[in-house]
Each structure stands twice: as C-alpha cells, then as structure tokens.
Chain A
Amino acid sequence: KNEVEQSPQNLTAQEGEFITINCSYSVGISALHWLQQHPGGGIVSLFMLSSGKKKHGRLIATINIQEKHSSLHITASHPRDSAVYICAVSRGRGATNKLIFGTGTLLAVQP
C-alpha cells in the first residue's frame, strides 16, 4: 500500500463544475503539498499546508491532520485547469522537502 493515496485517479468534468480531489496518507507529516503538472510540462507548487485551509483564486486546499486526509477543491472549473494534480507529503517533524508523492489525479475539464 502506498503511503500517499489519491482519488480519483482520473476525473472528467464539465466546465463550471466544482471539483474535489482527495489525498490520504498513512505516515506522520510536517507538511502536505499540492502540485500541478500539465502534460509535458513542469511541476508547479499550488499549496503547502500543515493545518486548516488555504485559498488561492479558485483553488482551495484543506487538511485534517487527525484523519490524515487532505482535499483540493477547484471552483468554477475551466479547461485550462486540465492537468495532473499531485499530493505529496514531507514526512516527520520538521522534515525537509524529501517528499513522498501520490500517483496523481488526471483531471480533464471539457468545455
């Protein structure tokens, strides 16, 4: 079993829909990262969080440390949001960015 699990693996949505991507982890962490990777493109950091909730534009990330679960929400989705979304964790207390990655969620937003 992977230490970081994401669901769903694939997601197709219509433009304008509200999207949720889930991440569960089984290890102690100091921080959780949400990353975005466009096909053939580099990885962009969206959020790093260790508690609560963060918002940036149409993106919202939440984390529940007790339940070892995080969600990434996209409001009013747009075709340009189509990408792979990756959850990754920094393991342990005060740990570095030696990240453990999930396998990613491939999102396709259709016009």
Chain B
Amino acid sequence: GAGVSQTPSNKVTEKGKYVELRCDPISGHTALYWYRQSLGQGPEFLIYFQGTGAADDSGLPNDRFFAVRPEGSVSTLKIQRTERGDSAVYLCASSWGSGANVLTFGAGSRLTVL
C-alpha cells in the first residue's frame, strides 16, 4: 500500500477482554516496529520484526502482550486480559532493511480500556 495502515483506529474495550490490533506496512518493507504512546509521553518500543521473525521483543511489558507477522507483511499485536493501564495509542512503523533507516509510521490505534 501507499502508507502504513493500522486498524482499528479506535478501540474501546472492557477490562479483562482480548484485543487485536493490525498493522499493514508499506509493501516491501521488511522491518516492522510496534511502539506504544501513552498520553503526554513519547513513544516506547515494544517489538521489532525483521521478516517473519521477532528480532527483538524486549519492549513487550509482560506476557499478556504478543505479536505475530506470519507472512512477513501484516502484523497483529495481541493483548490478553486487558488492563486500564494498557490504554494508549499503539503505533506501527515500517522501514527497508535491517539497519537504521527512515521510518514510516501508521496513524496509530487508540486503545481505551474501561
């Protein structure tokens, strides 16, 4: 696609529910990143994929968070047993190759846990 597409743009859920957030990166971008931005803060790294594999998942806050990228393109961030503290904007970004390259960000998925 022309840009990085994230769905849904907004998600409101109840505490304890399961949530999936989807990211469709720019076609051909092998690197895909998930970041989380809480209100008034800068984004924080969650996980990085190079192709299909999670090259670095050190930013995932706990085992309720999981992400996949089975075909090396679309990625899904999965959050189990959501908590109010999970409320944030979840940003996806993609870039060429494995090095430090120009990133293209999606518009984000705003998650609100009631």
Contact = CB atoms under 8 A, between A and B. Distances in A.
A94 B45 CA distance: 17
Nearest to B58: A98
B42 A45 contact: no
Interface in A16-74: 30-31, 33, 35, 41-45, 48, 50
B104 to A, nearest CB: 7
A96 B108 contact: no
B51 interface: no
Nearest to A91: B100
B11 to A, nearest CB: 16
Interface residues of A, number: 25
A97 B101 contact: yes
A101 B35 CA distance: 11
B67 interface: no
- Classify chain B's interface size: 20 to 34
Contact of B91 (A43, A102, A103, A104): A43
Interface of B: 31, 33, 35, 41-45, 48, 50, 55-56, 59, 91, 93, 95, 98-108
Interface of A: 30-31, 33, 35, 41-45, 48, 50, 86, 88, 90, 94-104
Given A43-B43, A96-B56, A97-B100, 15 more contacts: A41-B107, A42-B91, A42-B106, A42-B108, A43-B93, A50-B100, A94-B100, A96-B48, A96-B55, A97-B31, A97-B103, A98-B45, A98-B48, A98-B56, A104-B42
12 contacts: A30-B99, A42-B108, A43-B93, A45-B103, A95-B99, A96-B55, A96-B98, A96-B100, A97-B103, A98-B56, A99-B45, A101-B44
